[in-house]
Chains A and B, each alone.
Chain A
Amino acid sequence: MRRADQITGVVVLVFSLAVIEGGRRMPPSGTFGPGAGFLPFWLGVAMAILSIILLVNATRESAQASEGSPFPRGQAILAILKTIGGLAAFILLLETLGFLVSIALLTAFLLRCVERVRWLTTAMVAVANAIGMYIVFQMLLGVSLPKSIFGF
C-alpha cells in the first residue's frame, strides 16, 4: 500500500494544482461577495494539503509494513481490462450497430470472453437479455433506443 499511496499522493497533488489554477482563472464576482472561482480555488488548496499529508504518511510508514501492490495480476487484471474495453467499445458502437445488436454483443462478450461461460448458454442469455431489455425499455417505459444504421 505504501508505494501505491505515494503514487496516489503525487497524482492527486498535480490534480489539485490544476484545480487551483482553474479556480484562479475564473472571473471574479461581478457584484460583491465571492465569485465563481472561490470554492474551486479553496477546494484545490484543501485537496493539495490532504495529498501532501497522504504522501508524508505513506513515506513515514515503515517499508516492512507495506504489502505488495493492491492490484491483481494475471487472469484477474485481464478480465477487468477486457470488461472495461468491452464497455468502451459498446458505447462507441451503440449508435452504429443499434441497441439490439450491441447489447447482445456486449452480453455475449462478457459471458464468453470474460467469464468463460459455455457457448450455448452465452448465446441464449445474450439474446434473451437484448430482447428482454428491449421489451422493458422500449415497450414498457417508452424510451426511444438507438437504432442501427440498417434501421433495426
Chain B
Amino acid sequence: MDIFSNILMGFKVALSVQNLLFCLIGTVYGTLIGVLPGIGPVVGVAILIPITFGLNATTAIITMAGVYYGAMYGGSTTSILINVPGESASVVTCLDGYALAKKGRAAPALGMAALASFIAGTLAVVLLTFIAPALSNFALSFGPPEYFALAFMGLTLVTSLAGESMVKGLMSGVFGLIVSCIGVDAVSGDERFTFGLLSLLDGAGFIGVAVGLFAVAEVLCNLEDSMEQVFIQAKFTLRSLFPTRQDWKDSWWPIWRSSFMAFFLGNLPGAGATIASFLAYGMEKKLSKHPEKFGTGVMEGVAAPEAANNAAAGGSMVPLLALGIPSSGTSAVLLGALLVHGLKPGPLLFQSSPEFVWGLIASMYIANIMLLVLNLPLVGFWASLLRVPYKILMPLIVTISAVGVFTTDNNIFDMWVMFVFGVIGYLMRKLKFPAAPVVLALVLGPMVERTLRQSLTISHGDIMIFFTRPISAVLVTIALISLCAPLLRGVMDWRKKVVEIS
C-alpha cells in the first residue's frame, strides 16, 4: 500500500510538463547517442551533467536516466544495420542482428529489439519499485564499517572485472582514489595535493575528470581508425517492423529469462549491461534446441541480449538509489550527477528526497513507453542519421564537452582538468587501463575515506572492526576473495571468458 501511494506521488512529479519534456529530450538524445557509433552512454551522460546543471535535481536526473535507457534502445540499430555496435552492450546483438539484416529481415529484427527492450525495461522498473525501498530500509542500520565494506566491495568487484589485466584495473581504481584525495580534507581541514592552486581546494572536479576521461579520450582514440561503414538498405514501414508469430514464439521465453537474469546481475557491482548481454546470449544458446543456428540470424539472438542490456541498466539503479553505490561506469557518472545537484545518495535518500526518488522511478515507466514510440515508427529516421559522417560529429563532441565543462562553474580551470584527464584517458586506453574504475573510485572516494577513518576511530585503530560485525565481515570477505581470485585457476578461466567476450 505504501509503495502504491509513493509511486502515485512519483507519477505526479514525473507527469509535470517540465519533467515530461525533459524526459523526452533525454530519451531522444539517448537514442541518438546509442545509434551513433563512437559515443556511448557514459559519454552521453557525462556531457549532460554540466548542461543540465541549471535545472532542478529531479528534472536533471530524469533527463540523464532517459539518456541511459535511450542508449540501450538505440545501440541495437547500428548493430543490426551496419554490424557496428552503437555501444558496448550491443556488441553481441551484431552476431544475429546483422545476419538477419543480410537475409532481408532488418525491419522485424529492429522491431524485436525495441519490443524486447520495452518488456525488459518495464519489468526492471517494476522490480526496482519493490526491491529498492526494501533494500534501503535494510541498509538504515548500517554504520561506518558497513558502508566502508560496501564501498570497498563495490570498488574491488568493478576493478577486478574491468579490462584485461586485473593489476591494471586495480591501478585505475587506486589512481581514482588518489585523485579523490585532492582538495581540503573534510575531516581535518588540511590541504592535500593542491600545489597551492586555489581552484584545487574543492577537489579536481568530477565533471572535468569524467568528461575528459570519457568524451575527450574517446574522440582521440577514434581519430585513429576511419569510421566508414557499409550500410544495409532496408524499408521500414510500421507493418514490416512487427515480428511474425513464429518470431514471437522463438523469443518470448528468452526475453523473460534474460530480463530476470540481467536485472539481478545488474544489481551487483561490476556486472554491467555489457556482461549481462553476453551472458544472456550464451545462456540462450545453451538452452536452445538448435544452438548451431545462433549466429546465422535467429530472432532470439537479438531479443535475448537486447532484453538483457535494458534489464541490467534498470537493475543497476537499485544499488545506486538504495545504497548510493554505483555498479557500472554509467551509474558512477549518474551518482556524480546526484552529488553535483546536492542530493545525498544512500539509504536515507528515500526518506530525505522522496519526491526525487519516486519521481525518477515513475519517469522510468514513462521513458520506456516514450522509447517504444520513438523506436518503432521512427526507426527509419534513426537509421538515416547513420549517414552523418563522424568527421562532422567529432568537432561537435569536442566543443560541446569543453563548453559544457566550462559552464558548470564558469571556470577556465575546469577545462584544463578536462584537458589533462583527456590526455590521461587516451594514454590509459592505449595502454589497456580501464577508465571506469577511476570514475567509480573518484565518486566513492570521499565516502570510503570518511567511513574508514570513522571506523578506525571507533575501534581505536583496530582493523578487526571490519570482521567482527557480521554484515561488513561478509562484504569485506567477498572483496578479499575477488582480489585473491587470480590465484584460483578455475575462476581465472571464467574471468578470461567474460572479459574476452566483452
Contacts and interface: CB of A to CB of B under 8 A. Distances in A.
13 contacts: A35-B188, A36-B188, A39-B453, A40-B193, A46-B170, A47-B178, A50-B170, A80-B224, A107-B399, A110-B395, A121-B392, A137-B403, A141-B54
Contacts of A29: 188
Interface of A: 1, 4-5, 8, 12, 19, 22, 26-27, 29-30, 32-40, 43-44, 46-47, 50-51, 53-54, 57, 70-72, 76, 79-80, 83-84, 87-88, 90-91, 94-95, 99, 103, 106-107, 110-111, 114-115, 117, 121, 125-126, 129, 133, 136-137, 141-145
A117 B190 CA distance: 51
Contacts of B461: 33-34
A47 B174 contact: yes
Interface stretch (B106-114, B116-124, B286-294, B418-426): B418-426
A46 B174 contact: yes
B431 A84 contact: no
B35 interface: no
A127 to B, nearest CB: 12
A36 B192 contact: yes
B457 A34 contact: yes
Contacts of A115: 391, 394-395
B415 A106 contact: no
A94 B478 CA distance: 49
B171 A51 contact: yes
Contacts of A36: 185, 187-188, 190, 192
Interface in B120-146: none
Contact of A111 (B168, B392, B457): B392
Given A39-B449, A79-B223, A84-B220, A44 B178 contact: yes
Using C-beta atoms within 8 Å of the partner chain, give the interface range for chain B.
35 or more
A22 B170 CA distance: 21
B207 interface: no
A23 to B, nearest CB: 8
Nearest to A121: B392
Given A29-B188, A133-B400, A39 B177 contact: yes
B402 A91 contact: yes
A92 B396 CA distance: 19
Nearest to A69: B430
B392 A141 contact: no
A141 B51 contact: yes
Contacts of B54: 141-143
Nearest to B390: A115
A117 B396 CA distance: 14
B192 A40 contact: yes
A71 B427 CA distance: 9
Contact of A71 (B178, B192, B430): B430
Given A1-B432, A43-B181, A114-B223, A26 B192 contact: yes
A76 B224 contact: yes
A79 to B, nearest CB: 5
A40 B412 contact: no
B464 to A, nearest CB: 16
Interface string B437-470: 0000000000001001110110011000000000
